[in-house]
Copies of this chain bind each other. A is one copy, B any other.
Amino acid sequence: MALKDVRSGQRNEQGIETVLGLLKQQFGERFQTGQAFREQHAHTTTYLPSQLPDGVVFVETAEDVKAVVSACAAHKVPVIAFGTGSSLEGQVNAPSGGISIDFSRMNRVLQINAEDLDVVVEPGVTREQLNTELRDTGLFFPIDPGANASIGGMAATRASGTNAVRYGTMKDNVLALTVVTANGEEIRTAQRARKSSAGYDLTRLFVGSEGTLGVITSVTLRLQGIPEKIGGGVCAFPSVKAACDAVILTVQMGIPVARIELLDEMQMRACNAYSGLSYAEKPTLFVEFHGTEQTVALQAEQFTEIATECGGDSFSFTANAEERSRLWKARHDAYWASRALAPHLNGLSTDVCVPISRLADCVVETQADIQEHGYLAPIVGHAGDGNFHVLILFDDKDPEDVARAEAFVARLNTRALAMGGTCTGEHGIGQGKMSFLEQELGGAVDLMRSIKKGLDPENIFNPGKIFPMTMSLPNA
């Protein structure tokens, strides 16, 4: 099924009209229906065309969220939660219209529990804001998906990023959520305790549910102590296979590497061109260690041995912060360097994740596919997790080029699934990957549908995401 088909939705015009009136009355200036607002809340970093909501509510409290959800539930109108719009698979599009809930004003850090290494935040807090507010406590929130995403959005898409290899993903770092459910009430998924065996794990059911089961109103997060010392370095390898072997050995030896990123030859070429650098244009690992002076030095030494054994060039390493930033510059600029390869084209950032033993195979086969079809498509991987991204550049105005890009993504996913991998390590299903979810998990998707029907019988929460719009909206 082509993407454009699974993305179509039907509108409940009468319900929407009623809700627009109700929300205008209740929220006044905090409810906006102007074109600019609507466009802004469908326009994301995704390659998928925008589908606009009918209005945007700027919520300030959980009570506001309850009011919006209650109104929408009563009239069977879609509700789409909006953090910062940095999702990549069309998660904030509104295929059936409806109301976008903007969380940018619901961005308070509610409770810092330094002794317990946790924090309670509203969903609109961004990760950079959180780390700024935490600075005096000696603690930090480690998950770093690249974008300055909102914590609510990161929880909803089960985000991770460069240092998941050490600190885990959102599933490992969310301790509890409050959520407004389909009946307009707020529930708490768990207490603040570090662990629990009390009933079904609703926290982890909502983490990664992409706004389809309810609207998150607060997030309790685990924190980490800011490392005394951070060291980082760069090492080029003769082949992707050699680089991946170094990653596998690093993980197997239990070196608690904080980040271990793989950039392929095309990505390194793009980075050199973009920033006037002179890295070797070979598969390269960017590595970071967190610890004390002693343990960082020890880890660097162990990694150097592994890199040498795997045929790597000499490992440029430093524990000096500025020097480390300079060394890591190519990694930080990877996205924009890639886009600069063809500034007139759009970029489709896709991701898969495979067991680490298959990472080299999957990357090498994907590079061959890219070369065979003549794509511009650099590869960046969170190698320690077996997760990698391809940014494929394509002309979104040319239907044939769109089809070519979609066909590439389909082949990539089929390849990853055949290796025991998943069609998305961290971007989520959204609109873009619905067919691959079926391909990946088959009958398990029926269970997901049962859960969706049980928790959101009228399909008001972010309809047309994760599952195609099979549950059509009844008219009010």
Using a CB–CB cutoff of 8 Å, the interface residues on chain A facing chain B are 113-118, 157-160, 164, 168-169, 171-172, 181, 185-202, 204-205, 207-209, 213, 224-225, 227, 248, 251-254, 256, 294-295, 298, 353-357, 385-387, 416-417, 420-429, 433, 436-437, 440-448, 450-451, 453-455, 466
Contacts and interface: CB of A to CB of B under 8 A. Distances in A.
Contact of A440 (B198, B295, B446, B466): B198
Contact of A448 (B168, B200, B209): B200
B387 A194 contact: yes
Contacts of A447: 181, 187, 200, 202, 455
Nearest to A226: B254
Contacts of A117: 251-252
A387 B195 contact: yes
Contacts of A168: 172
Contacts of A181: 443, 447
Contacts of A448: 199-200, 202
A198 B451 contact: no
7 smallest A-B Cβ distances: which pairs? A450-B454, A196-B422, A115-B357, A454-B454, A204-B204, A192-B420, A193-B353
Contacts of A355: 113, 115-116, 118, 192-194
Given A115-B355, A158-B201, A200-B451, 5 more contacts: A157-B197, A171-B204, A197-B426, A198-B428, A201-B208
B208 A205 contact: no
Nearest to A212: B200
Nearest to A295: B295
B201 A422 contact: no
Contact of A356 (B116, B199, B436): B116
Contact of A443 (B187, B204, B209, B356): B187
A217 to B, nearest CB: 13
Question: Which residue of A354, A422, A428, A436 has the most chain B CB atoms within 10 A of its CB atom?
Answer: A422
Nearest to A227: B254
A444 B189 contact: yes
Nearest to A430: B197
A426 B199 contact: no
Contacts of A207: 201
A227 B171 CA distance: 26
A244 B366 CA distance: 52
